[in-house]
């Protein structure tokens, strides 16, 4: 058995020393009625161990930040009692800094006198968020409770968790009554010995350390034990350590460090372990690296570094470069603050069960020092993590921030309501699926099909949707599933809600076929005329034109025709031509691939089966006029042999302008159905009728 304490450097200091602060030093003084021990290690988010309670009166404060307590990087920490927050006891001013490399090996003590109440303690090192509370009671009668004990094992481990060469067992005990008097240990079933320093065990093999503690009232704790295995060191190390460096500090917009920069060097060695790290500032002599290097001189700087392992291998030199600039003018602007509330909401926007308030602050000057918050008008507390509020009811969180120059922002607040969770959800989600894509005549999907799955849950809400293609493994559904493989397919699907209920699997089946060859050939079109002919081959009374189209590729999409130079109209049924005279009939077809056939034509002549109809007035102008308005539309001959202008009768005697407009609207509706004019032309004629002065009194027409 070997007992060992590392010879490490410790720096301890006190920020202030009022009457309640008795003494502190790098070694134990005369023990007080109780001993309170804090330990720290590699972490910067919390102490490794810390007491939570004590009794009023004299106390010995022990703060240890050493290799024995888990500090393998040399990181310094402080144990500082908060005297600025009146929500806590402020009668003990204590600020101890310790690191494994200081003169006391990282272990320091201080004698103080505690009073009933709560003390807040924290680490003041930049970037560290270690804090806690110590509750002090007034004490009671005789102590009948034995101390609480714990043990930790440290050392270099191999891949199997065995300790290489040696293991160090660190014991600790706390007693909130009379205080710890002694700790004892026994190695591998041997006799108990008094514990005064971490126990180093170097013998190869399995080991067990049993331990117990006795307080000053004579109460002895139950025996506990910790077991571990020590193995021999691996073969000689010939590989130098791996090294890295990190530069930290406050940066300006150009990336320069303001006032100072701190260079933190780290090294790892999987063989013999790191023996030392060295650094050189701006090509100066190399010095041992024991703590992060702070550089404050304005200008450009380079820190070179290297490490040597316990086998004597030294790494190649690496370096980091950076620039330090002077601090900007004094900051007089308070931080900007904001808050967000998160959690599960109900349909009314209330938070179900709880809500979490996240605060943030930014400061472009000196930087944010602290954020504080108050819940429902209570006292302000320091914000270190999002605040979870669970009480049912309305709540308000007020918040503010202070920068490092002491500027405090105006108070802001955020309000919200928390309601109790609804009854437990035991119903699975509702699910459905649709298949989309281009279908052929048999209902098969051409080239690909897309399956869209939906789910709804009226209670806890949908957590996830899953699908399986052709009996494959289920996958998370995040977007419609496109299936492009030719053949028959089945997509199964299911959904799970936030309460864990999963719906029964459902499925949709479909077939994907290959796309037909690309169609580049327009349709074939033909037309035939039917009706009663006279001896000259003219159609008596009228003729009917029937158009047919076929397409062996993509299929016919549309058939169109034009009569006597009119606009092309959709062909849906045989076209009757009843107006006497010669006629030209054009026709064409377009397939689903967009190919349009060349226009074909036929001519025919219709003769009346009865005497010709008298037109209301003679008007063979080339374009349609409504009153004095020229619409620009061709003055075509209609099915009864009269021109459009002759049927408008704008020179007739109308009772009023409205009667004329109504007559024109009926006329263009008939012409539209007969195919004489298209929709645009019909609208233009009706618009001209409304703008004309036909049917208005003479005085009104003169004014227009």
Tens-place pLDDT, residues 9-23: 233 333 333 333 333
The span from the CA of 82 to the CA of 99, in Å, is 21
> What's the whole-model pTM score?
0.27
pLDDT at residue 212 above 50?
yes
Q: What's the whole-number mean pLDDT along residues 687-700?
A: 82
Q: What's the whole-number mean pLDDT along residues 146-164?
A: 93
Strand 355-362 vs strand 387-389: parallel, antiparallel, or unpaired? antiparallel
What does the block give as tokens for 301?
């700087």
Distances (CA, A) of 329 to 105, 294, 361, 525, 695: 41, 22, 21, 88, 86
pLDDT bucket at 4, cuts 50 / 70 / 90: very low
Cβ atoms of 460 and 497 within 8 Å: the answer is: yes
CATH code, residues 336-419: 2.60.40.10
* Neighbour-count burial of 397, counting CB atoms closer than 10 A to its CB (0-12 exposed, 13-18 middle, 19+ buried): buried
What does the block give as tokens for 659?
């009667």
The span from the CA of 287 to the CA of 326, in Å, is 27
Quick: pLDDT tens for 258-303: 999 999 999 999 888 999 999 999 999 999 999 999 999 999 999 9
**Distant-in-sequence, close-in-space partners of 161: CB < 8 Å, separation ≥ 6:** none
**Considering the chain, what percentage of its residues have pLDDT values greater than 90?**
73
Residue 103 CA, chain-centre distance (Å), reads 49
Which residue, chain included where needed, has tokens 């094992």?
A: 153
The span from the CA of 128 to the CA of 100, in Å, is 17
The span from the CA of 149 to the CA of 211, in Å, is 8
Instruction: Name which of 60, 23, 94, 93 is nearest 178 in CA terms.
Output: 60
What is the pLDDT, as a whole number, of residue 9? 27
CA angle 661, 664, 669 (to 5 degrees): 130
**Distant-in-sequence, close-in-space partners of 666: CB < 8 Å, separation ≥ 6:** none
pLDDT at residue 2 above 60?
no
User: In CATH, what is the architecture of 242-325?
Assistant: Sandwich (2.60)
The residues that bridge with 524 in the sheet, in sequence order, are: 550
What does the block give as tokens for 81?
């009692």
Phi, then psi, of 146 in degrees rounded to 5: -70, 160
Which residue, chain included where needed, has tokens 């931080």?
A: 335
Top-confidence residue, 317 or 621: 317
Superfamily of domain 524-607: Immunoglobulins (2.60.40.10)
Question: What HEC string does 258-295 produce?
Answer: ECCEEEEEEEECCCCCEEEEEEEECCCCCEECCCCEEE
Q: What's the whole-number mean pLDDT along residues 550-560?
A: 92
pLDDT bucket at 330, cuts 50 / 70 / 90: confident
What is the pLDDT, as a whole number, of residue 17? 32
Q: Which own/partner contact pairs does 560-565 have at CB distance under 8 Å and 24+ positions apart?
A: 560/587, 560/588, 560/589, 560/590, 561/585, 561/586, 561/587, 561/588, 562/586, 562/587, 562/599, 563/675, 564/636, 564/637, 565/634, 565/636
**Distant-in-sequence, close-in-space partners of 287: CB < 8 Å, separation ≥ 6:** 278, 279, 280
CATH code, residues 2-137: 2.60.40.420
The span from the CA of 200 to the CA of 161, in Å, is 17
Quick: pLDDT tens for 382-436: 999 999 999 999 999 999 999 998 999 999 999 999 999 878 889 999 999 999 9
Residue 154: how many CB atoms within 10 A of its CB?
20
Cβ atoms of 592 and 519 within 8 Å: the answer is: yes
Phi, then psi, of 371 in degrees rounded to 5: -120, 140
pLDDT at residue 532 above 80?
yes
The span from the CA of 509 to the CA of 488, in Å, is 7
Quick: pLDDT tens for 51-100: 999 888 899 999 999 999 999 999 999 999 999 998 899 999 999 999 99
The residues that bridge with 308 in the sheet, in sequence order, are: 276, 314
The span from the CA of 627 to the CA of 661, in Å, is 11
pLDDT at residue 611 above 60?
no
User: In CATH, what is the architecture of 430-513?
Assistant: Sandwich (2.60)
The span from the CA of 25 to the CA of 28, in Å, is 7
Cβ atoms of 169 and 198 within 8 Å: the answer is: yes
Count of H-run helices and E-run strands, the chain: 4, 52
What is the pLDDT, as a whole number, of residue 329? 80
pLDDT at residue 28 above 80?
no
CATH code, residues 148-231: 2.60.40.10
Cβ atoms of 547 and 561 within 8 Å: the answer is: yes
Top-confidence residue, 16 or 458: 458
What does the block give as tokens for 159?
């891949």
What is the pLDDT, as a whole number, of residue 664? 93
Instruction: Name which of 676, 626, 633, 630 is nearest 654 in CA terms.
Output: 626
Residue 472: how many CB atoms within 10 A of its CB?
10
Look over the chain and give the mean of its residue pLDDT values, rounded to a whole number.
Answer: 89
Phi, then psi, of 119 in degrees rounded to 5: -105, 140
Angle between helices 657-674 and 679-691 (to 10 degrees): 170
What does the block give as tokens for 653?
């005697």
Residue 519 CA, chain-centre distance (Å), reads 47
Q: What's the whole-number mean pLDDT along residues 570-585?
A: 90
pLDDT bucket at 554, cuts 50 / 70 / 90: confident
CA angle 605, 608, 609 (to 5 degrees): 125
pLDDT at residue 1 above 70?
no
What is the pLDDT, as a whole number, of residue 579? 82
The residues that bridge with 600 in the sheet, in sequence order, are: 587
**Considering the chain, what percentage of its residues have pLDDT values greater than 70?**
93
Largest CA distance in the chain: 144
Q: What's the whole-number mean pLDDT along residues 147-156?
A: 96
Top-confidence residue, 38 or 614: 38
Spell out the domain ranges in the chain.
2-137, 148-231, 242-325, 336-419, 430-513, 524-607, 623-701
């Amino acid at each position: 058995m070997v007992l060992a304490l590392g010879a490490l450097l410790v720096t301890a200091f006190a920020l202030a020393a009022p009457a309640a602060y008795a003494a502190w030093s790098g070694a134990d003084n005369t023990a007080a009625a109780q001993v309170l021990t804090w330990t720290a290690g590699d972490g910067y988010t919390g102490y490794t161990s810390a007491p939570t309670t004590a009794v009023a009166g004299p106390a010995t404060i022990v703060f240890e930040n050493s290799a024995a307590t888990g500090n393998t990087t040399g990181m310094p920490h402080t144990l500082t009692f908060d005297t600025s927050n009146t929500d806590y006891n402020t009668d003990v001013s204590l600020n101890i800094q310790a690191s494994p490399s200081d003169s006391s090996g990282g272990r320091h003590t201080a004698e103080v006198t505690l009073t009933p109440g709560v003390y807040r303690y924290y680490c003041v090192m930049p970037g560290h968020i270690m804090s806690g509370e110590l509750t002090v009671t007034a004490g009671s009668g005789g102590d009948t409770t034995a101390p609480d004990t714990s043990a930790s094992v440290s050392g270099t481990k191999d891949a199997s968790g065995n300790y290489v060469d040696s293991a160090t067992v660190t014991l600790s005990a706390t007693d909130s009554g009379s205080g710890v008097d002694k700790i004892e240990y026994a190695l591998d079933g041997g006799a108990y010995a008094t514990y005064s320093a971490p126990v180093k065990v170097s013998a190869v093999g399995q080991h067990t350390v049993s331990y117990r503690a006795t307080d000053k009232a004579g109460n002895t704790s139950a025996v506990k034990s910790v077991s571990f295995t020590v193995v021999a060191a691996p073969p000689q190390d010939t590989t130098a350590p791996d090294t890295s460096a990190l530069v930290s500090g406050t940066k300006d917009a150009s990336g320069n460090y303001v006032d100072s920069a701190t260079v933190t060097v780290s090294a790892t060695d999987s063989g013999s372990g790191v023996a030392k790290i060295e650094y050189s500032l701006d090509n100066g002599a190399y010095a041992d690296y024991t703590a992060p290097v702070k550089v404050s001189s304005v200008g450009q700087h380079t820190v070179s570094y290297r490490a040597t392992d316990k086998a004597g291998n030294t790494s190649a030199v690496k370096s980091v470069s950076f620039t330090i600039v002077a601090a900007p003018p004094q900051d007089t602007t308070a931080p900007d603050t904001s808050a967000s509330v998160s959690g599960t909401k109900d349909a009314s926007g209330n938070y179900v069960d709880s809500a979490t308030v996240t605060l943030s602050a930014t400061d472009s000057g000196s930087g944010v020092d602290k954020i504080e918050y108050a819940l429902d008008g209570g006292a302000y507390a320091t914000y270190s993590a999002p605040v979870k509020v669970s009480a049912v009811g309305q709540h308000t969180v007020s918040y503010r921030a202070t920068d490092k120059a002491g500027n405090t922002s105006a108070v802001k607040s955020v309000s919200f309501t928390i309601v109790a969770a609804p009854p437990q959800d035991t119903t699975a989600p509702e699910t459905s699926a649709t298949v989309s894509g281009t279908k052929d005549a048999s209902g098969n999907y051409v080239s690909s099909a897309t399956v869209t799955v939906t789910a709804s849950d009226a209670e806890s809400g949908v957590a996830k949707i899953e699908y399986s293609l052709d009996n494959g493994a289920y996958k998370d559904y995040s977007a419609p599933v496109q299936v492009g493989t030719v053949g028959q397919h089945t997509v199964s699907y299911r959904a799970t809600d936030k309460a864990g209920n999963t719906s029964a699997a459902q499925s949709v089946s479909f077939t994907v076929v290959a796309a037909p060859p690309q169609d580049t050939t327009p349709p074939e079109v033909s037309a035939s005329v039917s009706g009663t002919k006279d001896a000259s081959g003219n159609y008596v009374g009228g003729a009917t034109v029937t158009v047919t189209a076929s397409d062996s590729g993509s299929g016919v999409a549309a058939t169109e025709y034009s009569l006597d130079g009119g606009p092309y109209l959709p062909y849906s049924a045989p076209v009757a031509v009843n107006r006497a005279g010669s006629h030209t009939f054009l026709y064409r077809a377009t397939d689903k691939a967009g190919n349009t056939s060349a226009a074909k034509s036929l001519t025919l002549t219709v003769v009346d089966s009865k005497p010709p109809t008298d037109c209301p007035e003679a008007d063979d102008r080339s374009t349609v006029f409504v009153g004095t308005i020229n619409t620009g539309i061709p003055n075509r001959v209609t099915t009864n042999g009269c021109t459009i202008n002759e049927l408008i009768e704008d020179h007739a005697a109308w009772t009023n302008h409205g009667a004329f407009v109504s007559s024109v609207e009926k006329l263009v509706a008939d012409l539209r159905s007969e195919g004489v004019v298209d929709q645009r032309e019909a609208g233009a004629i009706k618009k001209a009728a409304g703008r004309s002065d036909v049917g208005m009194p003479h005085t009104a027409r003169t004014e227009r």
